[in-house]
Amino acid sequence: MEQIFTSLAPLLLAFGLSTGLIALLIRPAQGWGWVDRPTTRKHHQAPVPLVGGVAMCAAYGLSLGLLPTQPKAYPILLIGLVLLTAVGLYDDLRAVRPSIRFLFQIGAVLLMALGGKIVLGNLGDLFGLGTVTLAGTVAFLFTLFSVVGVINAFNMSDGLDGLAGGLALIATGWLIVLIQMTPGSSMAGDRGALLCLFAVTAGFLCFNLRHPWRQRASVFMGDAGSTMLGFALAWFLVHLSQGPEAVMTPMTAVWILALPLMDTVAVAIRRIRAGHSPFAPDRQHLHHLALSRGLTDGQATALLLVAALMTGAVGVVAYRFSVPEYLQFYVFLLLFSLYYWVTTCVWEERWIAVVPLNPGTVERQEPPPQTASSTSSPLQNQALPSKNDP
């Protein structure tokens, strides 16, 4: 009984701190102006407190400090999380240029690679020709690119109530499963840290996820939460896939984050093809696509979380049964190609459907941006909002 309590105590503490801090901060946040106000691009009808990210970061930091065994370089991890949470909160309240956000994200990765010695140098046998290894500056730059990519993938996925938090919860759960699957694993600190992250995220979802007893989120995580969660997951995905004590391969990590990664890359490619910045806002993300097909916010979130659970399961099962990494890699490329083709076709079809021969016959909530050519491709314009969008 004592052993069970010792194992559950950090989990319960993290969950309690997360829910307690959020509950305490909701009312003061409205007085401080820490709220996300409704706009034409957002679904909520009234200001929503932006305290989820700050509460999760504080609860996670306190929980890590109380673990009997801490994960590798956990002070560096905490510094990176606090840095991104602070910048994200400022961005939520005052707006920061993308270049400034990237500088702070790069700073967090520098701490991770140079201070924590966590670098993505082994990519596995991606092509069936032997292990692909990186070293020195190349390994550092690839780590920088990958971690910043994961951070922004989570940031871009935060478009529906419960979606970003649910994706983080699922990814964390699969990492815990992988550690448990590894006999004699010496990563007790990492297991405890992931359990705390799971509990902290679950505490946030109590206020953010829609369900029959909650029609709308009462708290948002904001950029403070999405970038913090993205960095924490990237830290453990890299750490647990490298070195002699690795509990998975790098391709397993890709499968665990397959949905947000595919969505982010696909949207970036479409924006670049249209001559826009890959970071320009639009309505071409997968959750926007789901809403455009008539799903409610709750239905779209549930569908995407089930898809994320399934892709993660593919990676974990493939690792468990030693499916060759190159086969996993090629299947993933095939899946991404199919995903990109289908989603692009759907958006082009939707564009043609909403643009009438006589523009006066269809009510449009948001005109497309002007392009240099009147015969431009549908991809040169942002997708119009559906009737479900604000």
Mean pLDDT of 238-267: 94
Which of the 8 DSSP states describes residue 385? P
Domain ranges of the chain: 20-351
* Radius of gyration of the chain, Cα coordinates, nearest whole angstrom: 21
Mean pLDDT of 53-82: 92
Return the percentage of the chain with pLDDT > 90, whole number. 59
Confidence tier at 212 by pLDDT (50, 70, 90)? confident
176-211 per-position pLDDT tens digit: 999 999 876 667 889 999 999 999 999 999 999 887
Q: Can you tell me whether residue 1 is helix, strand or coil?
A: coil
CA distance readout (Å), 339 to 114, 199, 240: 36, 32, 28
What the block records as the tokens of 67 is: 């673990």
> How is the chain split among helix, strand and coil, in percent rounded to 5?
65, 5, 30
Measured between alpha carbons, how far is 253 from 190 in angstroms, rounded to an integer? Answer: 16
